[in-house]
Amino acid sequence: MSRLHPSLIIGAPVFAGLDAGALDDILSRAQTVRLSKGDLAFRQDQRADRFFLLLHGRLRVTRLNAEGGQVVVRFIAPNDLFGVGMAIGAATYPGTATAVVDSLALVWPNSAWTDLVAAYPSVAVEALQSLGARLQDTQERVLDLSTLNVEQRIAGAVLSLAAQAGRATEDGTLIDFPLSRQDLAELTGTTLHTVSRTLSAWEAKGLVVSGRRRITVRDGPGLEVIAGKN
């Protein structure tokens, strides 16, 4: 097996501020996993015995309830740490992580977490910050679900995805991974029908251009007015 190069993880916030030796040490405990489109990194309720860092691609994390209802918890971008059940004291993964495009990740056994935190305390601090940011986001989502109507929530979700994964094109900002109406519905607590109608209406007004699993934002400020967060 070939050595992994430190440049792989130098951009990851969790490992920010560590020197080359530390990065080497951290990498020496990792393995790489390829995930083809549709493959799972882990499944909900499975024993959480490994954690991951996404190097390339995009993953969707979903969570199911007893009656079969499903929500999209989040989309994982490169340099995001995920599946850290151990660090937060969860025995099993709270959701299912699916590759939405061909992806590449690093994996560590859970035992490495304790060692890493002990050897490099900044890792725990960074993990705490990133967890805090996720808690904030999730609380914001509860607020949105409780106080905004469907159109406002969809606008907010599209804007935040465009900010997270936008790529400039001649048409506007393209959300740079395949995103279905169903995905957007599960992200905003509505149905694919309502999402479809909403996007059609926006397209008629020139706010977005959208197609099969593709959305391009043409008029961000216009969407912000709809989202009504300021």
Partner DNA sequence: CGAAGTCTTGAATCGAATCAACGGAAGTGG
Partner DNA sequence: CCACTTCCGTTGATTCGATTCAAGACTTCG
Contact footprint for its own copies (CB under 8 A) = 63, 65-67, 69-71, 73, 87-90, 94-95, 117, 121, 124-125, 127-129, 131-136, 138-139, 141-148, 186, 189, 228-230
- Taking CB within 5 to 8 Å according to partner kind, which of DNA, its own copies, none is near residue 160? none
Helix H or strand E encompassing 188: helix 181-188
Question: Quick check: 194 binds DNA (CB under 7 A)?
Answer: yes
What's the min distance (Å) between Cβ of 147 and DNA? 9
In three-state secondary structure terms, 187 is helix
What's the min distance (Å) between Cβ of 137 and its own copies? 9
- Taking CB within 5 to 8 Å according to partner kind, which of its own copies, DNA, none is near residue 90? its own copies
Secondary structure percentages of the chain, helix, strand, coil, to 5: 40, 25, 35
CB atoms within 10 A of CB 2: 5
What's the min distance (Å) between Cβ of 204 and its own copies? 26
CB 73 within 8 A of CB 44: no
Using CA atoms, how far apart are residues 151 and 169, in angstroms rounded to an integer? 25
Can you tell me which of 96, 98, 173, 210 binds DNA, judged by CB under 7 A?
210
CB 154 within 8 A of CB 215: no
- Taking CB within 5 to 8 Å according to partner kind, which of its own copies, DNA, none is near residue 170? none
Contact letters for DNA, residues 136-155 (x by CB under 7 A): -------------xxx----
Binding-site size, DNA (CB under 7 A): 20
CB 35 within 8 A of CB 103: yes
Question: Quick check: 67 binds DNA (CB under 7 A)?
Answer: no
- Taking CB within 5 to 8 Å according to partner kind, which of DNA, its own copies, none is near residue 143? its own copies
Burial call 118-143: b when 16+ CB within 10 Å, e when fewer: eebeebeebbeeeeeeeeeeeeebee
Question: Quick check: 218 binds DNA (CB under 7 A)?
Answer: no
DSSP 215: E
Chain positions contacting DNA, by CB under 7 A = 149-151, 180-182, 189-194, 196-197, 199-200, 210-213
